[in-house]
Copies of this chain bind each other. A is one copy, B any other.
Amino acid sequence: MLRVGVVGASGYVGGETLRLLLHHPEVEVAQATSRRYAGEFVYRVHPNLRGMTELKFMDVDVDRLAECDIVFMATPHGASARLTPKLLEVGLKVIDLSADFRLKDESAYPRWYGWHHPAPELLSEAVYGLPELHRREIAKARLVACPGCMAASAILALAPVVRAGLVDLERIVVDAKMGSSGSGATATLASIHAERFGVVRPYAPAGHRHVAEIEQELGALCGKPLKVGMTAHAVNIVRGILSTIHTYPVGELELRKLWQVYREAYGDEPFVRLVRDKKGIYRLPDPKVVFGTNFCDIGFELDKHAGRLVLFSAMDNLMKGAAGQAVQCLNIMLGVDEKTGLDFPGFHPA
């Protein structure tokens, strides 16, 4: 049994990672750390785990973490950049759920995150943890940097058409709608139920940090620079993200061609579903359908009138947008079935 540790396990991403790992047949959860809740039962913070585990949170201790084989970092941005080098040094593998090793370009950190990276030498080694693009590198990686949820959502929807050169690279708009769990387990006035319930609140009208990841990954796919304009909204759900992506085709584009490139890209993927149905209530992706699952549902529509191609991408931000993605990477690194511990169909109704 592989021994895993989760650093930052009291947050939502850390808790979700813990939930998945506790039920994962190939691993044993050796440690869950939380500075704030050290000594407390895990189920006090994550009440879903009541009766499932008697684990207690520990404080972070590199020496103790060294007893693990793999560590998941679910820390606030900035913390992993300082801790991960030490973990690698003692021979651990690290799957990082923060933003700290996602960007290849050292200068992107001061620009998008406002700080200089303390371990820039690791940026080229780190593998961007999106299996659909980097499965082979993930298998051999020592350090995996899992994508941001909005980035994952946008990249998966855009990759096939960007790779195939089907859309104008200067006119890509990502209009994202996010659930409240994306803001983390932190109490602010803006996040309390009375203020946050029932909103459709633009919280990042432009300049969201995930733009950097999206441009990096899509740019690598097409070999050209591209510009992504992202606007993020808070909506009245807890889990889930829908990215609606507005693009403009280069030249004539038919549905048949779209089916072709999407099937080529994702036909064999265990966690990407193409959703574009002619019947039923759920004809296009909707986060309600993927609640609790590791699926990314992708759909598309051609707007002949306005010359537009619209893409839709729905996922559970804590699953395929974070913890589920990380466990999928783990499975690849372990060489087991990618669906191990992730084969959950979701609910109807959720």
Contact = CB atoms under 8 A, between A and B. Distances in A.
Contact of A312 (B192, B202, B275): B202
Nearest to A175: B175
Report the copy number of this chain in the oligomer: 4
Contacts of A44: 277, 279-280
A187 B185 contact: no
A230 B23 CA distance: 38
Interface stretch (A67-75, A81-89, A120-128, A238-246): A238-246
Contacts of A248: 171
B303 A229 contact: yes
A286 interface: yes
Interface stretch (A96-104, A134-142, A158-166, A341-349): A341-349
Q: What is the interface residue range for chain A against chain B?
A: 35 or more
A235 interface: yes
Interface stretch (A56-64, A144-152, A205-213, A330-338): A205-213
A310 B231 contact: yes
Contacts of A12: 194, 348-349
A224 to B, nearest CB: 15
A170 B307 contact: yes
Nearest to A285: B202
A261 interface: no
A211 to B, nearest CB: 7
A50 B293 CA distance: 12
A207 B303 contact: yes
A115 B48 CA distance: 37
Interface in A216-239: 227-231, 233, 235-239
A173 to B, nearest CB: 5
B198 A288 contact: yes
A301 B291 CA distance: 32
B239 A349 contact: yes
A280 B233 contact: no
16 contacts: A44-B277, A47-B286, A187-B187, A187-B191, A193-B196, A200-B235, A202-B242, A202-B284, A205-B312, A229-B303, A229-B306, A229-B310, A230-B306, A231-B246, A246-B246, A292-B347
Interface of A: 12, 15-16, 19, 22-23, 40, 44-52, 170-173, 175, 177, 179-181, 183, 185-202, 205-207, 211, 227-231, 233, 235-240, 242, 244, 246, 248, 273, 275, 277, 279-282, 284-289, 291-293, 295, 297, 299, 301-308, 310, 312, 314, 343-350
